[in-house]
Amino acid sequence: MNRHLDYESAMNYLHGLYRFGSRLGLGRIRRLTSLLGNPERRFPSVHVAGTNGKGSVTAMVANVLRESGYRVGMYISPFLQDFEERMSINGENIPRERVAELASRSTATRARVAVERMLEEGHEHPTEFEVITAMAFQYFAEEGVDFGVIEVGLGGRYDATNVVTPWVSVITSIGFDHMDRLGNTIAKIAYEKAGIIKSGVPVVSSRQPAEALAVISQAAQENGSRLVRVGEDVEWREVRCSIEGQSVHLRGLHGSYENLDIALLGRHQQGNAATAVAALEVLSSAGVRVPEHAVRRGLATVKWPGRLEVISRSPLIVIDGAHNQDGARVLAAAIRDILPHDRMVLVIGILADKALDDILVELVPPAAHVIVTTPKSPRAYPADKLAEKVREYPVTVHVKPRISDALEKGLELTGPSDLLCVTGSLYLVGDARSKLGGFFQPDMNIHTSGLQPGGSRP
């Protein structure tokens, strides 16, 4: 058998691991990484958990470190359009040939060899996420990154990424999501997120509900970890906020940043930026050089696709991966405050394990038309059943199970001064981003091909 996989074979292997489910626990990943030589110990890391904002903070921290002159690996989940997004270095996704190599049997320090050894030893088969996480650590170690900025997949305490001992732990805003796995109260969810706190390692917390902050504070105290609280130890004041971007005056741990520009849209990103700056200042306290110009340029140029992302200005098309109530509330606020429009046309598809009613109550009332579709996921809530819930509101409902049909209908209904908003699931947003790319160049007025807005064909 060929010990080297090509990319397609590697992806078939990795996705085939889905059958082993999503099982929390650190025993499998610890054995897997030990067989690979513990690559996660070969670079310093920043570890980011939370319900909302963790991806944005991960991207911000990584971009500022890159602007500081470091070689920075970033690990995220899930990906939006392409698997290779999951692991990148200085903004460049892992090449497909490296994915194939890391998943092969070519040497003892390759994932498939390590998995086979685990099975020979009598261990449980690692999950898909565990194998991919180990591959990311191996990739960063072999490429000699100066830092790895690692986003938690699910929870924190028993997430596969929690084998790292970072230089700083970060916990972004905590809310209700994955309650079947993490618990049905904010305190229980916070307990799982706070599981990333390591002995003596500083922790930065975004603004939190009181019950979440109490749990995080106790975990930090028990671990002898310094706790930096955003909103108290680090504060900000809005200067401007619009569809063009935003800026804040920010008081950090070491000084102030006047007129700090943030490229990402939505007021919630102001708190995420403050969290990122706090984490970077903790690194600075540990001797990491993070100059002010790098903070400014890093936040002013950061990209985080699929999150309040403007695809077109005329008509205004925005995609956002809001998949829980807090995310939906943030999106609704942005629609109201910074996205100018006459009418809103909403394309929405949601996974069945999400709090459907909580999401719909935020997003459906502002819409004139709601087009219900089905994300490409085995966990998707069927469009016809979702439509029944949407019809409880006084809006016009269209059922288009295929995403391409839903987008076509959305463009047909969207006039030049209207807003087309696509949301509800990152699976839907990723697919929509790919398809809309054939119509529009992101954030441009240039219509390139496909169906014309307003119902006319080219």
Instruction: State pTM to two decimals.
Output: 0.93
- CA gap 161, 131 in Å, rounded: 11
- CA gap 248, 435 in Å, rounded: 35
pLDDT in tens, 43-61: 999 999 999 999 999 999 9
- CA gap 262, 282 in Å, rounded: 20
Whether 171 has a pLDDT exceeding 90, the answer reads yes
**What's the pLDDT band for 194 if we cut at 50, 70, 90?**
very high
Whether 445 has a pLDDT exceeding 50, the answer reads no
Whether 437 has a pLDDT exceeding 70, the answer reads yes
> Which comes out higher in pLDDT, residue 187 or 440?
187
Whether 75 has a pLDDT exceeding 90, the answer reads yes
Contact 56, 158 (CB under 8 A): no
- CA gap 412, 406 in Å, rounded: 10
156-172 average pLDDT score: 97
- 42-51, 269-278, 412-421, 438-447: least confident range: 438-447
66-76 average pLDDT score: 98
- 40-49, 195-204, 323-332: least confident range: 323-332
- CA gap 175, 327 in Å, rounded: 9
Considering the chain, what is the average pLDDT of its residues? 92
- CA gap 414, 78 in Å, rounded: 30
Whether 455 has a pLDDT exceeding 80, the answer reads no
Burial of 96 (0-12, 13-18, 19+ CB in 10 A): middle
DSSP-derived secondary structure letter, 106: S
pLDDT at 458: 26
Whether 452 has a pLDDT exceeding 60, the answer reads no
pLDDT in tens, 112-152: 999 999 999 999 999 999 999 999 999 999 999 999 999 99
Whether 448 has a pLDDT exceeding 60, the answer reads no
pLDDT in tens, 350-400: 999 888 999 999 999 999 999 999 999 888 999 999 999 999 999 999 999
Give the strands of the sheet with 245-251, arranged side by side: 235-242, 245-251, 256-262
**What's the pLDDT band for 18 if we cut at 50, 70, 90?**
confident
What does residue 103 show for φ and ψ, rounded to 5 degrees?
Answer: -90, 5
246-261 average pLDDT score: 96
% of the chain residues with pLDDT over 90 = 85
- CA gap 151, 170 in Å, rounded: 10
pLDDT at 182: 81
For CA atoms 72, 73, 74, 79, the dihedral sign is: positive
- 83-92, 108-117, 265-274: least confident range: 108-117
Contact 78, 15 (CB under 8 A): no
- CA gap 166, 178 in Å, rounded: 25
Burial of 103 (0-12, 13-18, 19+ CB in 10 A): buried
Whether 442 has a pLDDT exceeding 70, the answer reads no
- CA gap 447, 441 in Å, rounded: 7
Greatest CA separation found in the chain? Answer: 64
pLDDT at 22: 75
pLDDT at 176: 84
Give the residue from 348, 355, 345 showing the smallest Cα distance to 417.
345
Whether 92 has a pLDDT exceeding 90, the answer reads yes
**What's the pLDDT band for 5 if we cut at 50, 70, 90?**
confident
**What's the pLDDT band for 180 if we cut at 50, 70, 90?**
low
**What's the pLDDT band for 179 if we cut at 50, 70, 90?**
low
In order of their start, the domains of the chain are: 7-301 (3.40.1190.10), 309-455 (3.90.190.20)
- Range list of H helices, 41-110: 54-67, 96-102
193-216 average pLDDT score: 98
pLDDT at 449: 34
- Range list of H helices, 245-401: 268-285, 292-301, 325-337, 356-363, 383-390
Whether 292 has a pLDDT exceeding 90, the answer reads yes
- CA gap 345, 319 in Å, rounded: 12
